[in-house]
Structure 1
Amino acid sequence: MSKTLRNVLIVIGILIVLIAPIVSSYNKMISLDQKVKRAESNIDSDLQRRSDLIPNLVETVKGYAKQEKDIFTDIANARAKLGGATNVTDKANADNQLTNALSRLLMVVENYPELKSNENFRGLMVQLEGTENRINVARKDYNSAVDEYNTAIRKFPSSIVASIFRFEEKPYYKASEGAKEVPKVDFNVGK
């Protein structure tokens, strides 16, 4: 083997040893980024399912509780805000507003025993409960994916690759400050 060929092979070997970890780190970050995107998409899908159930639920309740117009308006506004949300933080805030409005609606339902026994209402509530459970699982899956991704891009030497290829931290799906408070409902207003 000639000296030139041997030097070329040594240089190629060194390049492979140097480039392989970079390629591996990059591919891992791409996989983790896709995992986060898939988890976010699952949240979106479940939020859309809930959003699609709400008009039927509202219409069913309206037949019994016509005087509760403020709650119906709050639900419509929260649905519109959720539909217009463009990032995880906005979606989380709109989702929390919608959850609070739904909680208030369900508190109002307590005043209407005949509504609670309505078969359509009960069916919608079962679907809504199942959807809420799926949303909760999707949020947890998203936050786990974000945690894994954020950890990977901050660990050395992956952090160097992340910096070069501009992989940035992803936000967690958090409850807004207002979501931690129990909504106040006054059943005597408007009656």
Structure 2
Amino acid sequence: MSAILLFLLVIFGAGFALVLFVVALYNGLIQGRNAYKNAFAQIDVQLNRRYDLIPNLVEVAKTYMAHERETLEAVIRARSTAIAGLGAAKANPGDAAAMAQLAGAENGLGAALGRLMMVSESYPDLKANQNMAQLSEELTSTENKVAFARQAYNDQVMSYNNKREMFPSSIVAGMFNFQPAALLEITADDAHKREAPKVSFN
């Protein structure tokens, strides 16, 4: 009787240890998913700050660049598209389609801002404007923060995807339908846009 009891205790102990092991793997995946979502929240903060600065920048530029209406309107349109892209990504951080939409919108906004800054070089009074200089400096600072936040997010996504794909946590990921997370990337064709737009007016 004691041998049967001992056998049952061993079976129970092994089963309990297995359950604890699966719980630990599951919790690790949850932790990884929460980490990249939290990292995306920092991108959200910085991008919203950027979007808030752009209308002020355009408003100041409009005073001096009355004949550049198309360029100014392109920036505002690109900003609206980027806001929509951020909304989609915020609703589902890590989703491949949402992250691609945001990356494309950000590339478009970066290109529009780049054109605005290039055209503004032809307006010395605008370059000398203190408000424009301050807004440009804030925008450059925000661009740098966006880049850091994006790198932190991508690092967390990589860590989560590694956990999700590596054995034995891959079994638990499959059992509980943990989906892969997508990086926030700038395409190779747009590699020149990795740097913040040149917005110095000194």
Shared fold, TM over 0.5: yes
Letter in 2 for 1:74: A
Counterpart of 2:72 in structure 1 is 72
- The answer as to 2:150 corresponding to 1:139 is yes
| Residue from 108, 113, 126 that aligns with 2:137 | 126
Counterpart of 2:200 in structure 1 is none
Cα distance in structure 2, aligned partners of 1:160 and 1:149: 14
Contact 1:97/1:179, CA 8 A, preserved across alignment: no
Cα distance in structure 1, aligned partners of 2:79 and 2:187: 16
Cα distance in structure 2, aligned partners of 1:43 and 1:17: 40
Runs of 4+ in 1 over 2 A off after TM superposition: 1-12, 176-182
Further displaced range: 92-101 or 169-178:
169-178
Deviation at 1:176, TM superposition (A): 3.7
Cα distance in structure 1, aligned partners of 2:81 and 2:132: 25
1:63 alignment partner, SS class: helix
- Once the two structures are superposed, residues 166-191 of structure 1 have per-residue CA deviations (whole angstroms, 9 ceiling, x without a partner) of 11111111114653467xxxxxxxxx
Counterpart of 1:113 in structure 2 is 124
Where in structure 1 are there 5+ consecutive unaligned residues?
183-191
Counterpart of 1:28 in structure 2 is 28
Question: Which structure has greater helix proportion?
Answer: 2
- Once the two structures are superposed, residues 63-117 of structure 1 have per-residue CA deviations (whole angstroms, 9 ceiling, x without a partner) of 0011111211211111111121212221111111111111111111111121111
Further displaced range: 71-80 or 140-149:
71-80
In the superposition, the TM-score normalised over structure 1's length comes to: 0.88
In the superposition, the TM-score normalised over structure 2's length comes to: 0.84
How many residues get paired?
182
Q: CA RMSD in A?
A: 1.8
Counterpart of 1:54 in structure 2 is 54
